[in-house]
Amino acid sequence: MKRFTLVAATAVMVAALATPAQAVPTAAEAAAQTEYMVLFKEGTAAADAQKAIEAAGGSMVKVNAQVGLATVSSANPGFASALQGAAAVEGVARNRVIGTAPDDAKASPARKAGPHAKNRAVEREGRGGPGAPRGRNVKDEPLADFQWDLKQIRANEAHKFEQGDKGVLVGVLDTGVDGSHPDIAPNFDRRLSRNFTVDVPADANGDVIDGPCEEDPDGSCTDPNDVDEDGHGTHVASSIAAPINKLGIAGVAPKVTIVNLRAGQDSGYFFLQPTVDALTYAGDIGVDVVNMSYYIDPWLFNCADNPADSPEEQAQQRLYIAATQRAIDYAHARGVTLVGAAGNQAIDYTKTNTDATSPDYATFPGQAIRTRTIPPSCVSLPNEAEHVIAVSSTGISKRKSYYSSYGNGYVDVASPGGDVYDTPGNTRDITKATLSAYPKALAVANGEIDANGNPTVDYVVKDCKGAVCAYYQYLQGTSMASPRAAGVAALIVSRYGERDRARGGLTMNPDTVEAILKGTATKTACPNPPDFTYTRILPSGSTVTATHTCEGGPSGNGFYGKGIVDALRAVGR
């Protein structure tokens, strides 16, 4: 599919509905407002739902008419109860308190520490290990020798047959994309890129989320569509489509087009409405592949009727499941191949688990993270939604990464995301993570480069072509595995897609893309014995072990799904 001028119907998707003129609320009134998510019954007109919402004391903030999901503001403490049973409404749940400031206005923004603490600890765990490469090794791209990940999936060989088509659009649903990065800019579509979210200073308990807006580089909570103040989305984007330009690295599909669909905040939180809006927009503009390396907050697992949750929390999770699936279905029906990260919890999603990380965002005062028993019927979103290709992570030896979640029937394919302990002696080595683009502004803000522009830490790498310099960082995670699989999907569309007569560019049935991706993956058997023990010797000298059990056979199992993606087999035949 190809870029085209946005039609009016798409613009309506995220517009606020017209409401009667109201007086500007006082500070006290604003503080009393609470946001709700309201899901309309399928087929209900937005105007009919709006009448029910207003009758219950709410006002529309934003609506996605394609999915029937609205963000609503109300000062009525009984709003949710008043709306229950309305003919036009399928579900209603509290979203957040409006107007809350951080308890400590001078606290550092949460983005400095990262969002979901366990996930980010995994992604950055390699830092401080053996030194990363500093010099240039000219071979294809200057840093190609350090891209073991491309070699594992034979993307470097596939480039002889297919490097991607500019008409293939890949949407990056993430924390943003640094569109000015020299190793992204040539393939970045600023015109089509959008920001669907607004940073949140604090949650309902006053705990810092993104921090004060004035501390942002642009002094606001609304970022431009070519900025990434976290770094995660930029890493993902260049993994997919860094061009072959004699600078830094190459992406899996170095000639496809990147579209920034920012759904995640600076802190790394991803909420429902931005995800739904980004997915429907992707379907409307002709995006061919999207990558989703995250889960929708505040629940790692959404359960329809978990007794560990209150009735209000159960209602929220049911709404999240229904609304997310509607958005996924909408995008899929319009030709979008959907790829998602399997998760960094190192658990089997097909078994009963314990979640001690949710809810990670308080939607009402006093709500806090607690330990819940999670049966297999609960789902992590968007990666467990129908039509989403779930990707586990491999290390340099092709073993499943120690942190990667898994499950027979859950994981669809595997892809390299790094494993810094996949080394002789089980000690960590940062170069066994994956290397991709890093925004210079973040490196400067975090003190990771000096006044001369040189890296001061082992996990940041600099490369220059003449006067143009770019920065890269080592990260690991299923967040890094998923975009490499998405890159192979983009190559498949580039190779076999048909002309999109309605919107230009190429298009391909996402079920066919998925079938080729799985069918050409390298079948990889479970370890023998299937109970595989991971040993990690930490820098402190302590040893950590964990045993994961792989179920299934070579043609399909819990560690690798249908196998490790293979770009050469996918496009070189």
Which CATH number goes with the domain that contains 42?
A: 3.30.70.80
115, pLDDT greater than 50: no
The last residue of one of the domains, among 97, 132, 166, is 97
Give me the number of domains the chain comprises: 2
19, pLDDT greater than 70: no
Does any domain span residue 259?
Answer: yes
CA distance linking residue 357 with residue 354, whole number of Å: 9
Cβ count within 10 A of residue 34: 23
Interval 147-185: pLDDT, tens: 999 999 999 999 999 999 999 999 999 999 999 999 999
Does any domain span residue 406?
Answer: yes
* CA dihedral of 310, 312, 318, 321, whole degrees rounded to 10: -100
Residues 324 and 371 reside in one and the same domain = yes
Q: What are the beta bridge partners of residue 97?
A: 34
Residues 338 and 410 reside in one and the same domain = yes
pLDDT of residue 573: 64
Residues 561 and 435 reside in one and the same domain = yes
The last residue of one of the domains, among 34, 69, 97, is 97
Is 10:4 a contact under the CB 8 Å cutoff? no
In 3-state terms, what secondary structure has residue 184? coil
Write the CATH number for 154. 3.40.50.200
The last residue of one of the domains, among 71, 97, 123, is 97
Is 338:517 a contact under the CB 8 Å cutoff? no
Does any domain span residue 256?
Answer: yes
Arithmetic mean of pLDDT over the chain: 89
In 3-state terms, what secondary structure has residue 232? helix
CA distance linking residue 434 with residue 139, whole number of Å: 18
Residues 481 and 565 reside in one and the same domain = yes
Interval 445-500: pLDDT, tens: 999 999 999 999 999 999 999 999 999 999 999 999 999 999 999 999 999 999 98
Largest Cα–Cα separation, the chain: 69
Which residues neighbour 43 within 8 Å (Cβ) at sequence distance 6 or greater? none
Burial of 12 per CB tally in 10 Å (0-12, 13-18, 19+): middle
Q: What is the mean pLDDT of residues 540-558?
A: 97
> Which helix (H) or strand (E) element contains residue 557?
strand 556-557
Does any domain span residue 82?
Answer: yes
> Which helix (H) or strand (E) element contains residue 150?
helix 148-152
Does any domain span residue 206?
Answer: no
Cβ count within 10 A of residue 139: 10
Residues 503 and 552 reside in one and the same domain = yes
Residues 50 and 191 reside in one and the same domain = no
CA distance linking residue 236 with residue 242, whole number of Å: 10
Pick the closest to residue 122 from 260, 264, 274, 293 (CA basis).
293
Does any domain span residue 205?
Answer: no
Q: What is the mean pLDDT of residues 94-110?
A: 46
Residues 484 and 348 reside in one and the same domain = yes
Residues 391 and 450 reside in one and the same domain = yes
Residues 523 and 489 reside in one and the same domain = yes
Phi, psi for 183 (deg, rounded to 5): -100, 15
Q: In the structure, how many helices (H) and strands (E) does the chain have?
A: 14, 22
DSSP letter assigned to residue 386? T
Q: How confident is the model at residue 8 (pLDDT cuts 50, 70, 90)?
A: very low
DSSP letter assigned to residue 72? E
In 3-state terms, what secondary structure has residue 81? helix
298 vs 192, 295, 480, 508, CA distance in Å? 29, 9, 22, 34
219, pLDDT greater than 80: no
Residues 92 and 116 reside in one and the same domain = no
pTM: 0.91
Which residues neighbour 535 within 8 Å (Cβ) at sequence distance 6 or greater? 421, 426, 543, 544, 545
Residues 379 and 425 reside in one and the same domain = yes
In 3-state terms, what secondary structure has residue 392? strand
Does any domain span residue 217?
Answer: no
Residues 43 and 122 reside in one and the same domain = no
Does residue 309 or residue 203 have the better pLDDT? 309
CA distance linking residue 123 with residue 451, whole number of Å: 27
- Residue 261 lies in domain: 110-200+224-571
DSSP of 191-213, one letter per residue? TT-EE-----SB-TT--BSS--G
CA distance linking residue 197 with residue 224, whole number of Å: 11
